[in-house]
Chain A
Amino acid sequence: MKYTDLIKTASSSMLRSKLRTILTIIAIFIGAMTITLTNGIGTGIKSYINKQIGNLGATNILMVQVQQKSSRLNTNNSGPALYNPNQKVSITSFGGPGERQVLMTQSDINTIKAIPNVTSVSPRRNISPDYIAGTGKKYQVTVDQQFGTTTAQMQTGSGVNINSSSNQISLPNNYASSLGYNNNSIVGKTVSLGITNAYGQQSTVNATVTGIQEKNLVGSTVAYINAALANQLFSVQSQGLPPATVNSFATVEVEFPASLTDAQIQTLKNQLNNKGYTGQTVKDTENTIFSAINAIILVFDMFGIIALLAASFGIINTLLMSVQERTKDIGLMKALGMSPRKIFLLFSFEAVLIGFWGSIIGVFVATLIGKLINAVAKNGFLKDFPGLTLLTFPLKTILIVVIGIMVIAFLAGTLPAIKASRKDPIEALRYE
C-alpha cells in the first residue's frame, strides 16, 4: 500500500467510530490548548520584559559585592572564622537576622578599577529623600542613581544625563499631575527634594525634570537621578556621619564598555570572582526573573502534560478497541498481501492523525482565546502598559506543541499497532 493510501485508509477508519474518535480528540485538545496558552503567556511576558530591560538599569553595568560567607549557615565545624582587620562588616537582616555582610571601601574600588575592561567604579549609595514637591503638596519618592546608558522608555522628554553637572531627575509617570503639571509641561521644570541629615535637620535640594518614564511592570515607581544630584543629596544626607560609615558600601556599580561580548563579560565576572567579589548584570537579573516565570509556566504546563498523558491512554484504548473490531479487516488485508509493517503503519498513522487533529484544534482554539484575552486586556487592566501583549504564539512554539503531541500519539499507538501487525490472518478470518 502506498503511504498516501495508508493515510487515507487510516483517516477513513478513524471516522468509522466517530463519537469514540471525537472523545479521544477532545482529550488531546484539552492538553494541547493548556500547553499552548501557558506558553503563550510565558512568551508574551518574557518578550515584554526583554523589551523593557532598559527600565531595570543599564546593560553595561555590573553590580558588584564582596562574596559573602553566611555566618548563620555554617556547615563546617572548624570553629569561628578568623578576624580580618581589613574587612569592614555590617549586620544586616538581609539573609536573616544577625547576618554579617562584608562591606567595601575605597581600597576595594581601587582593586576593581585595576581589572581590565573596567571603565569606572562608583559606589551605590542609599539615598532616601523625604519628599518631592512641585507647585503644591509634598509627596513620597524613591530615587535611584542612574549608571551607564539605559534604554528606559520615556513617555515624554528624555532620561537624565549622567555626565551633566546640573541636578537632573526623571519621574515615574504618575507624578506629573500631583506635582501640579501634566506629562508634557513638567519637562524642564524645577522640583525640590527634601532630605534629612544625621542630626535630624531637613533641607531641600532642587533638580530639573528631564522627562516622564513610560509606565511598565518592572521598576516603574523609581525616580532616576544623575550623579550630580545624587552627590549633592548624599552629602546632605551624610552630614554628621563618621567618615568610615560614609565611605563603606554594600554594592558598587562597575561600568564596562557596551561593546563587550557575552564571553568578555563572563571573563570580567571571573576576574571579579578571583579577587573575592561577585558581579551581576541586568541580564542576570532578567534571567533570575525569567527562571521564576519559567518555573510558574512549568507548573501550568504540568497540567497540560498530565492531560496529555491521560489522553494518550485514551488513544491506546481507542485503538485497541479499533484493532479488536477490525480483526477481520486486518486478516483480510494480510491475506490479500499486505505486510505486517504496513498494518503497523496503518494503525500508527491513525494514532498520529488523532494527535494531529487534537493538537491542531487545541492550538487553534488557544490562539483564538489568546487574541480575545489580549483584546480585552488592552482596553482593560493593561491599558497603561503599551507594548505588552499578554499572550504571544510564535510559530515555533505552535509547531513544537503539534509535533510533540503527534510523537506522543505515535508512541501511544505503538502497542495497539504491534498487536494489529501480529494478527494471524487465519485466526483473524476464522474470527466471528
Chain B
Amino acid sequence: MNQNTIIEAKNLSKVYGKNEVAFKALDNINLDIKKGESIAIVGKSGSGKSTLMHLLALLDKPSKGTVIINSKDSLLMSPSEIEKLRNKIFGFVFQQFFLNSTDTALNNVLLPLKIGKVSPKERKKRAQDAINDVELSDKINVKTMNLSGGQKQRVCIARAIVNQPDIIFADEPTGNLDSQTGKNVEDLLFKLNKDQGITLIIVTHDEDIASRCDRQVFIKDGKLINESRK
C-alpha cells in the first residue's frame, strides 16, 4: 500500500438477500484512492456505484472484504470511531441536498459541528467561513426553501467542508441542476480539490463531470470494468 493512499477497498463485495434471491451488488472490488486525488465512480443506475460509495463512506458494511482508511482497517473500528470518522474527516454532498428547508443556511451548515460537539461560538464562525467559501454570505440567514437549486447545492457543499474534511463524497452532485448551475457547482468542488487538497470522490453517470476528474473508474453489474486517467 502506498504511503499516499487515503482510502483503499480490498476485495469488496456486497450481497443483498440470501440463497436463491441473493443479489450481488458489488463483486470483489479493489480500489486505491490517493490523498488529494479526484476520482469519478462512473456507471449506469443499478450498476452498484452508489453501493460502492456507501461502503467507502462506512455508511454500510461489506459482505466480504474491507475498507482501509488512513491505514486503519474499518472492520476493526468501533461504531463510535466510525461515527467520529464520518463526522470529522468526511464531507457529504447529495443529489437531493437533504437540507432542513425551514431552517436557515447557517443552521444547516453548522449541523456537522453541532453533532461533533463544537462550541456554539466556534461553530458559528466556522460555518460563516464555509458559507463565504461557497460565495453565499448574502444568503446566510435565508431559509433554504427560499434558495434556488444551485444555491441549495452550494449550502450542501458548505456543510460538507465546514468540518475541514479530508474527503468529500459527492453523490450525483449536479443531478438535480441545469447545466450552467451544474457547471458552477462542479467548478466549486474542483476548486476545493485543487486549493485545499481535499480528496474528491464523485459518484456519477455524467461523463462530462467524470472527465474533469484525475481518474475515472467504470462500474458495471457490480464489477470494476475499466479505469482511465486524464
Which residues of chain A have a CB within 8 Å of any CB of chain B? Answer: 1-2, 5, 9, 16, 328-329, 331-333, 335-339, 342, 425-426, 429, 432
**Provided the pairs A1-B114, A5-B114 are in contact, do residues A335 and B84 lie with their beta carbons within 8 angstroms?**
no
> What residues of chain A lie closer than 8 Å to B60, measured between beta carbons?
426
Residue of A whose beta carbon sits closest to that of B89: A337
Interface majority SS (helix, strand, loop, mixed), chain B: helix
CA distance A333 to B102 in the complex (A): 16
CA distance A429 to B57 in the complex (A): 14
**Provided the pairs A1-B117, A426-B60 are in contact, do residues A337 and B112 lie with their beta carbons within 8 angstroms?**
yes
Does B54 contact A337, Cβ atoms closer than 8 Å? no
For residue A326, give the distance in angstroms from its CB to the closest CB of chain B. Answer: 9
B176 lies within 8 A of chain A by Cβ: no
> What residues of chain A lie closer than 8 Å to B111, measured between beta carbons?
332-333, 336
For residue B119, give the distance in angstroms from its CB to the closest CB of chain A. Answer: 9
Q: Which of B63-71, B92-100, B191-199, B214-222 contacts A (4 or more CB under 8 A)?
A: B92-100
Residue of B whose beta carbon sits closest to that of A329: B100
Interface string of B112-130 (1 = CB under 8 A from A): 1011110000000000000
Name the contact of B87 in the complex, choosing from A2, A328, A336, A426 (C-beta under 8 A): A336
Does A429 contact B94, Cβ atoms closer than 8 Å? yes
Contact count A vs B, C-beta below 8 Å: 49
Does B59 contact A16, Cβ atoms closer than 8 Å? no
Interface majority SS (helix, strand, loop, mixed), chain A: helix
Does B94 contact A337, Cβ atoms closer than 8 Å? no
Which residues of chain B have a CB within 8 Å of any CB of chain A? Answer: 54, 57, 59-60, 79-80, 83-88, 92, 94, 96, 98, 100, 102, 111-112, 114-117
> What residues of chain A lie closer than 8 Å to B102, measured between beta carbons?
16
Q: Besides the contacts A16-B102, A335-B86, A339-B83, what 14 more A-B pairs have beta carbons closer than 8 Å? A: A1-B115, A2-B114, A5-B114, A331-B98, A332-B98, A335-B57, A336-B111, A337-B84, A337-B86, A337-B87, A337-B112, A338-B115, A339-B79, A426-B54
Q: Which of A1, A332, A333 has the most CB of B within 10 A?
A: A332
CA distance A342 to B114 in the complex (A): 12
Closest 5 CB pairs of A and B: A337-B87, A337-B86, A337-B83, A332-B98, A338-B115
> What residues of chain B lie closer than 8 Å to A338, measured between beta carbons?
83, 87, 115
> What residues of chain A lie closer than 8 Å to B85, measured between beta carbons?
337
> What residues of chain A lie closer than 8 Å to B80, measured between beta carbons?
339
> What residues of chain A lie closer than 8 Å to B115, measured between beta carbons?
1, 333, 336-338, 342
CA distance A215 to B112 in the complex (A): 70
Residue of B whose beta carbon sits closest to that of A12: B103
For residue A15, give the distance in angstroms from its CB to the closest CB of chain B. Answer: 10
For residue A305, give the distance in angstroms from its CB to the closest CB of chain B. Answer: 37
**Provided the pairs A2-B117, A332-B98 are in contact, do residues A337 and B59 lie with their beta carbons within 8 angstroms?**
no
CA distance A239 to B92 in the complex (A): 107
Can you list 29 A-B pairs, Cβ within 8 angstroms, ordered by A?
Answer: A1-B115, A1-B117, A2-B117, A9-B114, A16-B102, A331-B98, A332-B98, A335-B57, A335-B59, A335-B92, A336-B86, A336-B87, A336-B111, A336-B112, A336-B115, A337-B83, A337-B84, A337-B88, A337-B112, A337-B116, A338-B83, A338-B87, A339-B79, A339-B83, A342-B115, A425-B59, A429-B96, A429-B98, A432-B96
CA distance A291 to B50 in the complex (A): 69
CA distance A396 to B84 in the complex (A): 43
Does B59 contact A426, Cβ atoms closer than 8 Å? yes
Q: Which of A331, A335, A336, A425 has the most CB of B within 10 A?
A: A336
> What residues of chain B lie closer than 8 Å to A342, measured between beta carbons?
115
> What residues of chain A lie closer than 8 Å to B94, measured between beta carbons?
429
For residue A51, give the distance in angstroms from its CB to the closest CB of chain B. Answer: 53
> What residues of chain A lie closer than 8 Å to B114, measured between beta carbons?
1-2, 5, 9
> What residues of chain B lie closer than 8 Å to A337, measured between beta carbons?
83-88, 112, 115-116
> What residues of chain B lie closer than 8 Å to A425, measured between beta carbons?
59
> What residues of chain B lie closer than 8 Å to A333, measured between beta carbons?
111, 115
> What residues of chain B lie closer than 8 Å to A432, measured between beta carbons?
96
For residue B124, give the distance in angstroms from its CB to the closest CB of chain A. Answer: 13
Residue of A whose beta carbon sits closest to that of B159: A336
For residue B100, give the distance in angstroms from its CB to the closest CB of chain A. Answer: 7
> What residues of chain A lie closer than 8 Å to B116, measured between beta carbons?
337
CA distance A78 to B86 in the complex (A): 84
For residue A168, give the distance in angstroms from its CB to the closest CB of chain B. Answer: 77
Residue of B whose beta carbon sits closest to that of A331: B98
Does A328 contact B112, Cβ atoms closer than 8 Å? no
> What residues of chain B lie closer than 8 Å to A426, measured between beta carbons?
54, 59-60
> What residues of chain B lie closer than 8 Å to A9, measured between beta carbons?
114
> What residues of chain A lie closer than 8 Å to B117, measured between beta carbons?
1-2
CA distance A337 to B85 in the complex (A): 7
Residue of A whose beta carbon sits closest to that of B57: A335
For residue B60, give the distance in angstroms from its CB to the closest CB of chain A. Answer: 6
CA distance A337 to B83 in the complex (A): 4
CA distance A342 to B87 in the complex (A): 14
Does B98 contact A328, Cβ atoms closer than 8 Å? yes
For residue B29, give the distance in angstroms from its CB to the closest CB of chain A. Answer: 17
CA distance A328 to B85 in the complex (A): 21
Residue of B whose beta carbon sits closest to that of A4: B120
CA distance A400 to B65 in the complex (A): 55
CA distance A408 to B105 in the complex (A): 36
Q: Which of A328, A335, A342, A429 has the most CB of B within 10 A?
A: A335
CA distance A328 to B101 in the complex (A): 12
For residue A141, give the distance in angstroms from its CB to the closest CB of chain B. Answer: 77
CA distance A63 to B164 in the complex (A): 84
For residue A307, give the distance in angstroms from its CB to the closest CB of chain B. Answer: 32
CA distance A384 to B127 in the complex (A): 69
CA distance A120 to B80 in the complex (A): 77
For residue A12, give the distance in angstroms from its CB to the closest CB of chain B. Answer: 8
